[in-house]
Amino acid sequence: MANAKTTKYDASSIKILEGLEAVRKRPGMYIGSTDKKGLHHLAWEIIDNCIDEIINGYGTTVKIRLNGDGSITIADNGRGVPIGKHESGTSATEVIYTVLHAGGKFEEGNYKVSGGLHGVGASVVNALSTWMDVTIYREGLISNIRFKNGGEVASPLKKIGESKKTGTCVTFMPDYEIFKNCQFSFSTICERMQESAFLLPQLTVELESVGDDKKVSYHYDNGIQSFVEYINEDKKTLNAIVPIHGVKNDIDVDIALQYTDTYNESIISFVNNVKTSDGGSHEVGFKTGITKVFNDYARANGILKAKDTNFDGSDVREGLTAVINLKIPEKLLQFEGQTKGKLGTPEARPAVETVVYDTLKFYLEENRKDALTIVEKMGKSKFAREAARKAREEARKGKSKKEAKNLSDKLTPPQTRNPKINELFIVEGQSAGGTAKSSRDRKFQGILPLRGKILNTEKANLADAYKNEEINTLIHCIGAGVGQEFDIKDINYDKVIIMTDADDDGAHIQCLLLTFFYRFMRPLIEEGHLYIAMPPLFKVEDGKNLKYCYSNEELKDYTRDKDPNKYRVQRYKGLGEMDPEPLRITTMSPETRNLIKVNITDAAMAEKRVSVLMGDSVEPRKEWIDENVDFSLEDDFRK
Ligand code: 0RA
């Protein structure tokens, strides 16, 4: 009998290792990719399991720690992963961490609220780790199991102590042979956990990064209302946050919204605690609902007269911040699109529309003062929109010759017209412009020197932007229109590259340009056409060697073991003082340069950053620049 059992165990354990081997052979099939995103997927997998436990009513806190050696620890105070014997003779714990998709078998008809988009199982994380250590507090015991080499048992489950606590603590070391040149990003993990904390008021998240001594924690009793408050933190708001809540046809609708005096909208939506980055039926219902309710209110109160046209959607959403959170029963759940980031469920549209309309109708009637402030802003938006259209039409009719002349004074265009390969360098000032002109490859690189500081578009609407000469020039250069009418198909350049000095002024101009592109040509960023050039900060000459360094750290690293008398460091104060050849090699030539692709993955968070950087309050901006000079950039384009 014992023999039979051993044989069975051996056979099944071989099968298990084969399963994990399949994961190691084709990680992409299980976690999407083996880049930075895939690496973080491992963390999300383990973290989501903890969060599910809390959603189901067990435990309150998730603790996450980057250990500084590449490993990460994730712990919760839920019931603890089961430690009993499994029918195969091994522990249930071992099964959960080694059998593909085993996790679900241990659930007892739980309503998994967070499910839907992820959930490949903890065993996949184990398969892609060089080691994993699981400690479980349960049934009065502390139990531990360890794995190595992608899921082999290094030490089977055993008691290591006693405790009245309950919970699960997992530490794993991702296999960095698979995730080459990747590391966990503390700020990425913080951002996602903060979002979870906003969505789940019962949750506390504590995060720590050991190497650099960072510690934060998130807990929000007021849920998505706190989320809106956070996004609008540095903005002037027009009304108190409006909570909208209702259940319609089994769909639970929860929304918080607030208007600001800015010109942009940020709507962020979730379904069953999973972000729907590409919107979907719920967002359509939301937009329809608010457009209807504000038009009806404005008509009923004589703000829109009979001869006036309606507010359109963009008028109603100007300055709007909204967080939408839906709970949809599994049987109605439908996600669409390549990344499943879009809600399909048709029932969500009328459900959200009705709840939004009814709640806001009542709110507007009860809060007349706020209502009038908001509607007055919509009136201004409508007026500006109509004025901008007129201005554009006039520009098309009469002034286009003058503009062409204007542009030819400023822009040095590439010699050939090829939007698929051409590049536009936006540089600061005439002197840098001159050097850039000598450094460029004239066949496909164009140079646009900006004269003055460009307008801060955080505080400007489209009509104001048109009046600013530098911005006007930019719009004409890029050639694809602006705002709602921007059409990415018409861009004259494949890459628009911001090339400023590596000093405070340069950083400020970068911010101004990024703000402008973010507000008025967002597809340029979303479709990956906007870049930042990386000019070197230092030139180091030692004997016959010449080396360019791009940061203080790089300079320190490079000169550490050198005799200070044997090398010479030149600090570049601006692009203007660089010679054409070094500028070409270090910054402009596609063969040798470093470019950073501007990558806005999360519109709402980027929104928050832009408003911190460009808004009225100086303090948070200073603090923010000090902490994160790299804005929302991801340097995934190092060529
Ligand atoms: C299934 C059953 C039970 C606990 C869990 C899963 C569980 C999984 C994870 C993953 C991370 N933290 C977790 N906490 C709990 C226990 C069921 C019971 O106690 O009856």
Top mutation candidate among 42, 63, 64, 81 for ligand 1, by most atoms within 8 Å of CB: 81
What integer pLDDT is reported at residue 607 of this predicted model? 61
- Does the pLDDT value for residue 5 go beyond 50? no
76 lines ligand 1 (CB under 6 A): yes
50 exposed, middle or buried (CB, 10 Å; 0-12, 13-18, 19+)? buried
Q: How far is the CA of 123 from the centre of ligand 1 (A)?
A: 15
Q: How far is the CA of 124 from the centre of ligand 1 (A)?
A: 17
What integer pLDDT is reported at residue 313 of this predicted model? 96
What are phi and psi for residue 48, nearest 5 degrees?
-60, -35
Q: Give the Cα separation of 558 and 548 in Å (integer).
A: 10
Q: Which sequence positions are flagged as catalytic?
A: 428, 501, 503, 505
Taking only the tens place, the pLDDT of each residue in 280-337 is: 999 999 999 999 999 999 999 999 999 999 999 999 999 999 999 999 999 999 999 8
Taking only the tens place, the pLDDT of each residue in 178-214 is: 999 999 999 999 999 999 999 999 999 999 999 888 9
What integer pLDDT is reported at residue 8 of this predicted model? 52
Percent of the chain at pLDDT exceeding 70 = 86
- Does the pLDDT value for residue 400 go beyond 50? yes
Top mutation candidate among 42, 46, 49 for ligand 1, by most atoms within 8 Å of CB: 49
Which ligand 1 atom is at minimum distance from the Cα of 46?
11
78 lines ligand 1 (CB under 6 A): yes
53 lines ligand 1 (CB under 6 A): yes
What integer pLDDT is reported at residue 397 of this predicted model? 58
Report how far apart, in Å, the C-alpha atoms of 313 and of each of 6, 279, 316, 353, 499 are.
68, 15, 5, 14, 36
Taking only the tens place, the pLDDT of each residue in 530-584 is: 998 988 889 999 888 889 988 788 899 899 888 888 899 998 888 888 899 999 9
Report how far apart, in Å, the C-alpha atoms of 203 and of each of 54, 62, 117, 227, 635 are.
7, 8, 21, 14, 32
558 lines ligand 1 (CB under 6 A): no
- Does the pLDDT value for residue 59 go beyond 90? yes
426 lines ligand 1 (CB under 6 A): no
* Mean predicted confidence (pLDDT) in 595-612: 64
What integer pLDDT is reported at residue 396 of this predicted model? 58
Top mutation candidate among 106, 112, 171 for ligand 1, by most atoms within 8 Å of CB: 106
Q: How far is the CA of 502 from the centre of ligand 1 (A)?
A: 51
- Does the pLDDT value for residue 250 go beyond 80? yes
Taking only the tens place, the pLDDT of each residue in 33-44 is: 999 999 999 999
470 lines ligand 1 (CB under 6 A): no
Computed over every residue of the chain, the mean pLDDT equals 87
- Does the pLDDT value for residue 486 go beyond 80? yes
Taking only the tens place, the pLDDT of each residue in 435-462 is: 999 999 999 999 999 986 788 887 777 7
Q: How far is the CA of 572 from the centre of ligand 1 (A)?
A: 58
